A and B are shown apart, each in its own frame.
Chain A
Amino acid sequence: MATQQTRALGKLAVAPSVFALFVWMIVPLAMTIYFSFLRYNLLDPNIACSLMHPGQLFDAENRCLAGFSNYTYFLTDPAFFKAMGNSLILVGWVLGISVAGGTLLALLLDQAFYGRGFVRIMMIAPFLVMPTVSALVWKNMMMNPVSGFLAYLFKLVGLQPIDWFAHAPMTAVVIMVAWQWVPFATLILLTSLQSLDEEQKEAAEMDGTPPLSYFWYIVLPHLIRPMTVVILIETIFLLNVFAEIYVTGTGGRAGNLPFLVYQYGLISNDIGGASAGGIIAVILANIVAFFLMRMIGKNLEA
């Protein structure tokens, strides 16, 4: 159907995006892999290099080959296990909360009631708040142990207010991030609910199907696919949570993998170690991406 001329033109039209994305993907990744095999520190005259290979530095910037030592160092750093643990806790909890909460909220929003459009935007709003704002609002106005709103509520019911960031930093981060991602799940699941066949709904109603079995046999199977999409997409984003941890200063105890890499690189100036950490993060993300891509790819066929 497409003529020779349009084909050639099509290739020309696609070329800039392909080129831009190729460079964007390959150059930094190749450099990160390269750096991950070097001893490379931005600040120090590289002591490690001069000790290991006296008088034979790798290049002018005081770099020398490190073999796999950056990887072994990073992978055996207790901070790595902590960060991995924190990453998993964050992803796991936020996923659980947002799929369960998102389903309930989507079911609620799918009902008929007054002011539905307004309630919907109120429930979606947290997703539109920039992460640095959300972090500071929660840290101060909500969770401050003295004058925060939660402290006020705790005192109101006679409980001792929690000093969230001192005693439960991980819980605090999970609450903050979940507040932003439950709305996303709600939005996706609601969109999908609204595409549920109206006739099916009516038929179930006429047959007098009890609400629970209606949910179990008709709604839930319909939601499985969008739920999977929510889980995969949120995982990609949640593995990369950074601003909330950076801005609230919880990196020391609730820091995740991205924060640890940031610490290695831009705080300790250990470029080699940070690069090894970056590559480990890439490998982990790719495992998730593999499943997500298969799902979206299947959809492309349909």
Chain B
Amino acid sequence: MARAVSKRRKLIVTVLAWSIGLLIFFPILWTILTSFKSEGEAIELPPKFLFFAWTTENYAVVQERSNYLLFAMNSILLALGSTLFALVIAIPSAWAMAFAPGKRTKDLLMWMLSTKMMPPVGALIPLYLIFRDFGLLDTRGGIITVLMLLNLPIIIWMLYTYFKEIPGEILEASRMDGASLGKELLYVLTPMAIPGIASTLLLNIILAWNEAFWTLALTTKDAAPLTQFIASYSSPEGLFWAKLSAASTMAIAPILVLGWFAQKQLVRGLTFGAVK
């Protein structure tokens, strides 16, 4: 690991990397800064970076005007609800496929993956009509089910790759010792599976939180999450940059924090284990 890197080279790379990093991050940084400006200063040119009258009133106004909390609550409920729902179905499946694989297990996994390849527009019309006819449009239950199904293949795949890494000898040892299937599950598998399940949970919350096709098409108000809340700012009368920035900052902040922890899981989950 101890490769000699000259100090000068390290400094040059540091400057270069920080410049490019800040450049890429700039739109987000700018949004956060703008959210603390007054509307007047938000559109002022030349733009002010740090020396403006800092204010938090935008956050208060956003909450008051468009009921941010309701949308945020919906985002949390949809992300958590769909993820937990999917985990309940996925954990037994992934467990079975990893530890008691049959001849068809690989085909089955590939088939599950293939459902993810289906473009949403192929299902948009029927789903919209089904939702309309069953009164599911703009209901939390309806959209949670869709998000659950949408991410179920990724969840099963991720869990499968994690479960696969649990050494089989441990299971055999516990079986030799006469552990029943229930005990095997509870005392041997569960503790070892928890990290994988947590990683899967994390990735899926991020995916569900940012999902912006079905949430835009199937919700309007009551079940609408933050994606829809932000989209409502696209109308001309909603274009107040400082408030748009405050709303945006609140919508992305939780996921930026989660994403910090989830970098590895993102790679594994989104490449279906092809890159680890």
**A9-B181, A141-B241 given; A20·B119 CB < 8 A:** no
Task: Kindly identify which residue among A7, A135, A226, A229 contacts B102, using a CB–CB cutoff of 8 Å.
Answer: A7
Task: Kindly identify which residue among B149, B213, B231 contacts A21, using a CB–CB cutoff of 8 Å.
Answer: B149
Q: CB-defined interface of A243-272 with B at 8 Å, one 1/0 digit per residue?
A: 100111100000001100110011000010
A3 closest partner in B (C-beta): B100
A65 within 8 A of B: no
Task: Kindly identify which residue among B13, B101, B118 contacts A111, using a CB–CB cutoff of 8 Å.
Answer: B13
Q: Which residues of B contact A195 (CB under 8 A)?
A: 276
Tell me the minimal C-beta distance from A112 to chain B in angstroms: 5
Of B23-31, B51-59, B192-200, the segment with at least 4 beta carbons within 8 Å of chain A is B23-31
Tell me the minimal C-beta distance from B225 to chain A in angstroms: 9
Give how many A-B residue pairs fall within 8 Å (CB-CB).
317
* A123, B149: Cβ atoms closer than 8 Å: no
Tell me the minimal C-beta distance from B16 to chain A in angstroms: 7
A5 closest partner in B (C-beta): B181
Q: Which residues of A contact B245 (CB under 8 A)?
A: 137, 141
Q: CB-defined interface of B4-45 with A at 8 Å, one 1/0 digit per residue?
A: 010000100110111011101111101100100000000111
Task: Kindly identify which residue among A35, A128, A130, A249 contacts B226, using a CB–CB cutoff of 8 Å.
Answer: A130
* A112, B112: Cβ atoms closer than 8 Å: no
A86 within 8 A of B: no
B173 within 8 A of A: no
**A13-B95, A147-B44 given; A242·B259 CB < 8 A:** no
Most buried by B among A183, A284, A297: A297
B132 closest partner in A (C-beta): A42
* Complex Cα spacing A84 to B184, Å: 54
Task: Kindly identify which residue among A114, A247, A300 contacts B109, using a CB–CB cutoff of 8 Å.
Answer: A300
Of A47-55, A91-99, A213-221, A287-295, the segment with at least 4 beta carbons within 8 Å of chain B is A287-295
* A247, B234: Cβ atoms closer than 8 Å: yes
**A123-B21, A128-B259 given; A141·B30 CB < 8 A:** yes
* A138, B27: Cβ atoms closer than 8 Å: yes
B248 within 8 A of A: yes
What's the interface size class on B, roughly?
35 or more
A274 within 8 A of B: yes
Q: CB-defined interface of A207-233 with B at 8 Å, one 1/0 digit per residue?
A: 000000000000000000110010001
Tell me the minimal C-beta distance from B83 to chain A in angstroms: 15
Q: Which residues of A contact B118 (CB under 8 A)?
A: 25, 29, 282, 285
B201 within 8 A of A: no
Q: Which residues of A contact B244 (CB under 8 A)?
A: 136-137, 140-141
Q: Which residues of A contact B275 (CB under 8 A)?
A: 188, 191-192, 225-226, 229
B156 within 8 A of A: yes
A169 within 8 A of B: no
Q: Which residues of B contact A239 (CB under 8 A)?
A: 119
A67 within 8 A of B: no
Tell me the minimal C-beta distance from B190 to chain A in angstroms: 15
A200 within 8 A of B: no
Tell me the minimal C-beta distance from A261 to chain B in angstroms: 4
* Complex Cα spacing A107 to B20, Å: 13
B108 within 8 A of A: yes
Q: Which residues of A contact B25 (CB under 8 A)?
A: 122-123, 125-126
* B231, A128: Cβ atoms closer than 8 Å: no
Q: CB-defined interface of A179-193 with B at 8 Å, one 1/0 digit per residue?
A: 100111001100110
Identify which of residues 41-78 in chain A touch chain B, using a CB-to-CB cut-off of 8 Å: none
Task: Kindly identify which residue among A18, A109, A247 contacts B17, using a CB–CB cutoff of 8 Å.
Answer: A109
* A296, B113: Cβ atoms closer than 8 Å: yes
Tell me the minimal C-beta distance from A28 to chain B in angstroms: 4
* B3, A130: Cβ atoms closer than 8 Å: no
Q: Which residues of A contact B255 (CB under 8 A)?
A: 128-130
**A123-B24, A124-B263, A299-B274 given; A17·B122 CB < 8 A:** no
Q: Which residues of B contact A275 (CB under 8 A)?
A: 125
Q: CB-defined interface of B246-257 with A at 8 Å, one 1/0 digit per residue?
A: 001001100110
B68 within 8 A of A: no
Q: Which residues of A contact B22 (CB under 8 A)?
A: 122
B156 closest partner in A (C-beta): A17
Give 12 pairs: A residue, B residue, CB < 8 Å, sorted on A. A6-B100, A7-B102, A10-B100, A29-B123, A114-B10, A125-B28, A137-B245, A147-B43, A192-B275, A242-B216, A258-B121, A262-B121
The interface of chain A, by Cβ under 8 A from chain B, is 2, 5-7, 9-11, 13-14, 16-18, 20-21, 24-25, 27-29, 31-32, 35, 105, 108-109, 111-116, 118-142, 146-147, 149, 151-152, 155, 179, 182-184, 187-188, 191-192, 195, 198, 201-202, 205, 225-226, 229, 233, 236, 239-240, 242-243, 246-249, 257-258, 261-262, 265-266, 271, 274-275, 277-279, 281-282, 284-286, 288-289, 292-293, 295-297, 299-300
